[in-house]
Amino acid sequence: MNIQSQSAFYRQHQMELLTDKDKRNGLIGTVFFHAILVFIFIYFKLNLTFPPPFPVVPEEMGMEVNFGNSETGWGEEEPSTGGSPEPENSTVAAAVPAASKPEKSAAKTQEEILTQQAEETARIEAQQKKIAEAKKAEEQRKIEAEKQRIEAEKKKKSDEISKMVGNAFGNGNSNSQGINKGPGNQGDPNGTPGSPNYGPGGGSGNIGFSLNGRKMVQRPVINENSQDQGKVVVKIIVDKTGKVTKATAGERGTTATSAYLFRISEEAALKTKFDANPNAVEEQVGSMTFTYKLE
């Protein structure tokens, strides 16, 4: 081996030694560094928590004392604090008003809620009262309208009755004349106009009648042989068919005093028949006059 080759071999061997030494030193340093870390962790008991962002104020220590301004006192109720001097340099006394502020605020809020509820209740009651008054006024209006309607119907019926009675009795116009009560032109068809005598004429058993708007269709036959004389006026009631339903002798204008003439006059009136009139009233009032004279 020449000198050049030996020199190269020597350098290569030296490099290998240096490399092994660096590796050994690095391994030793690494182990030592980790050992120090383990020692630190064990020493501080692995307390790796971070400090709080804000400083913690330690709680006040001490004994709670009842609020007051005197060393003596008696009773179970806490007296009012208004106008009393507050003790100086008292942490507890200063803490009591601060603690009572939320209670006062809560009481004020409760009072406001109760006030609002009372106002709402009053508003609802006022609204309900208005509705009740409106309903009452409407009911009263309906009652008044019904009363007016009933009064109008009564007046209408009264007018109709008055009209029918007026038609029955002639209303006192120029178409009615006579001395008997009732409508019509009293007298005899064969008599003389303007004569003061309203009898049906001479002769025994002569008959006249007064019945507004109706005609006699069946005259009664009277057979009278007594010596009594005079005039008998009979009030008659006639229905729609023309039948005489009631007869009463002795009406105004009667001159006879014989009860016999009264009786036969009523019987004759009940046998009389008038024409039917469906538009007539149920009971039309008229009269018949019977004149009895001695032959």
Over the stretch 85-138, which tens digit does the pLDDT of each residue have?
Answer: 555 554 444 444 555 555 667 777 888 888 888 999 999 999 899 899 998 899
- Of 180, 203, 183, the C-alpha closest to 191 is 203
- pLDDT on residue 267: 93
- pLDDT on residue 275: 94
- pLDDT on residue 19: 73
- pLDDT on residue 266: 94
Decide if 274 is inside a domain. Answer: yes
- pLDDT on residue 114: 87
Decide if 37 is inside a domain. Answer: no
- Of 164, 197, 195, 168, the C-alpha closest to 181 is 168
286, with CB counted inside 10 A (0-12, 13-18, 19+), is buried
- pLDDT on residue 171: 41
- HSE-CB for 79 with a 13 A CA cutoff: 10
Decide if 232 is inside a domain. Answer: yes
Collect the ranges in the chain with pLDDT lower than 70: 1-4, 6, 13-14, 17-18, 45-65, 67, 80-104, 161-205, 295
Give the domain range for residue 227. Answer: 206-292
Specify the number of domains making up the chain: 1
Decide if 20 is inside a domain. Answer: no
CATH number assigned to the domain comprising residue 245: 3.30.2420
- pLDDT on residue 126: 92
Decide if 111 is inside a domain. Answer: no
Q: What does the block give as tokens for 286?
A: 């008229």
DSSP letters along 31-53, please?
A: HHHHHHHHHHHHHTTT--PPPPS
Residue indicated by tokens 């980790």: 34
Contact (CB, 8 A) for 238 and 211: yes
- pLDDT on residue 57: 57
